[in-house]
Amino acid sequence: MRRVDVFSRARRGRRARPHLPPAVGWAVVFLALFAVAGLWLRDSSLVSVDKVTVTGLTGPDAARVSEQLEAAARDMTTLHVRTDQLRAVVENYPIVKSVRADADFPHTLRITVVENTPVAAVVADGGRIAVSGDGRLLRGAPAAGLPSVPVRIAPGGDRVADRVALEAIAALAAAPQPLRARVLTATTTRDGGLTLDLRNGPDLRFGGADRLRAKWAAAAAVLADAGSAGATYLDLRYPERPAAGGLEDPATQRDPETADAATLASSTTPASGTTP
């Protein structure tokens, strides 16, 4: 009977553990120390934020928001900027769209605020609330001078929910700034068409709230044409064929030179039956 040396087989099957060179071991230790030092330096007073600049804020809340952002920033370092905390500071201010922070080593932090642009003011019960192009209500933002979008019920929450009002707001958001500044009111007519009332100009009849940029381009072109002077409205439902309405029919218009000649002739021609 053959004896089997189990222990000798186990010893033969066991692999020898590799030995790391001393240089590799020291490198691991150095990297670990470096990581610990980096974590310490990241939140160290050696790189604390001592100077803060805030740009991009306007309106009545600008000073208050700027102070709050500066206070939050001074609890940070230029190696550990916590943008989420800066966003938390401005989340109660709808006028603020986004916040960006750029660190300038070792002690300066520059904060840039991007605001929502008011394009209209929703009007209900005598009150006006500024609103951005995506329907976000900008409570507290100045609403004077903005185009009016009437709604039946004063909006609650953070956004406009009325579908018709949202279409009017989208049309105003797509407008070139010089033309949007001339819009007094954006309303929906009984037949469902969107109409924009211009200051010192004709009504703009958009019809549906589609192809907005093309309709605004057509409106700008017609308004720049001297031939549209005196029009009471522009029909922009088909922007390829805009029409100026309310003008005298060209077929019935009299040529001023012809009219003057006829008047002169009648005044110099003797009446029938008289002797010159």
Q: What are the tokens at 236?
A: 């922009």
pLDDT reported for residue 135? 96
pLDDT digit of tens for each residue in the chain (276 aa)?
A: 555 555 455 555 555 566 657 776 666 666 766 566 556 668 888 999 999 999 999 888 899 999 999 999 999 999 999 999 999 999 999 999 999 999 999 999 999 999 999 999 999 998 999 999 999 999 989 999 999 999 999 998 999 999 999 999 999 999 999 999 999 999 987 666 999 999 999 999 999 999 999 999 999 999 999 988 999 999 999 999 999 998 755 444 444 444 444 444 544 444 444 444
Q: What are the tokens at 148?
A: 């009016």
State the pairing for strand pair 243-245/233-235.
antiparallel
pTM of the full predicted structure? Answer: 0.71
pLDDT reported for residue 72? 97
pLDDT reported for residue 258? 47
**Helical segments of the chain, H only:** 6-13, 22-42, 62-73, 83-90, 163-173, 177-180, 212-224, 256-268
So where are the chain's domains? 47-115, 118-245
Provide the CATH topology of domain 118-245: Rossmann fold (3.40.50)
pLDDT reported for residue 255? 46
pLDDT reported for residue 17? 60
Alpha-carbon dihedral of residues 175, 179, 182, 183, nearest 10 degrees?
-30
Among candidates 86, 122, 118, 90, which has minimal Cα distance to 103?
86
3-state secondary structure of 151: coil
Using the Cα atoms of residue 169, residue 116, residue 82 and residue 70 in order, give the sign of their dihedral. Answer: negative
Classify domain 47-115 by CATH architecture: Roll (3.10)
Q: What are the tokens at 253?
A: 């218009």
